Amino acid sequence: MGRDITDPSVLRVMGEIQRQDFVPAAYEAQAYDDGPLPIGLGQTISQPYIVALMTQELHLNHDCEVLEIGTGSGYQTAVLSRLAKKVYTIERLAQLSESAQTVLKGLGIMNVEFHVGDGSCGWPQPRTFDRVMITAGVPNLPQPVTEQLAEGGIIVAPLGYGGVQQLMAFEKKGQKLIEKMLCGCRFVKLIGEHAFDETED
């Protein structure tokens, strides 16, 4: 783990959640490499260092309700679930969501609500969240999502147009989002009405 991951609760949970539970059998031997791995359907499980950094930057506590956009394998979801009150996670691809639901249920994780749909439109019911994490690259923060962030809340997201993005954290202060640059990163694209078009390269 990078030396800038210093939050003891994040380090503890990263040690407790076994990444091998979330990777396809063919990649089990690489489960603890610090890099993304394929999970099928052209998608990836995120790099452990980036999972830890994004989690740390959310500054979670057990009162937080978190919206996660891009469930993927459910690995990041599981990490969030151990540090927050409840996680609401949206995945565009039903097959990935179902597989993540099976893994989390098997681990006895009960404080996660799953939804299959376009996360760029936000959670389907109107409500706000204390924290938001977007786990796929977005050109800009999707407006319906920022509208669902509570006052004082934090969003962490990779922003950029190409295959390389800038990982950013934003804190909502009144009408403003105060931004903090974290690092360069590479995520698959968020495909949706308020993100990238499926046909875009």
Catalytic positions, written as ranges: 46
Positions 145 through 184 that interact with ligand SAM (CB under 6 A) = none
> Residue 108's CB: how many other CB atoms inside 10 A?
6
In the bound state with ligand SAM, the residue whose beta carbon lies nearer, of 92 and 172, is: 92
Candidates 10, 52, 90, 185; binder of ligand SAM (CB under 6 A) is: 90
- Cα–Cα dist 170/150, whole Å: 12
* Minimum distance of ligand SAM from residue 176's CB (angstroms): 25
In the bound state with ligand SAM, the residue whose beta carbon lies nearer, of 43 and 152, is: 43
Q: What are phi and psi of 185, to 5 degrees?
A: -155, 170
- Cα–Cα dist 120/189, whole Å: 11
In the bound state with ligand SAM, the residue whose beta carbon lies nearer, of 30 and 152, is: 30
CA–CA–CA angle 81, 27, 160 (5° rounding): 60
Letters for 8-47 (x = contact with ligand SAM by CB under 6 A, - = none) are -----------------------------------xxxx-
> Which part of the chain contacts ligand SAM (CB under 6 A), choosing from 4-12, 72-80, 102-110, 173-181?
72-80
* Minimum distance of ligand SAM from residue 133's CB (angstroms): 8
Is residue 89 part of the contact set for ligand SAM (CB under 6 A)? no
- Cα–Cα dist 79/68, whole Å: 11
Counts for the chain of helices (H) and strands (E), in that order: 5, 9
Is residue 75 part of the contact set for ligand SAM (CB under 6 A)? yes
Candidates 56, 73, 99, 165; binder of ligand SAM (CB under 6 A) is: 73
Please spell the DSSP secondary structure of 133-171, one letter per residue. EE-SBBSS--HHHHHTEEEEEEEEEEE-SSS-EEEEEEE
- Cα–Cα dist 176/8, whole Å: 30
**Interface with ligand SAM (CB under 6 A):** 43-46, 69-70, 72-73, 75-76, 90-93, 96, 118-120, 135-136, 187-188, 190-192, 195
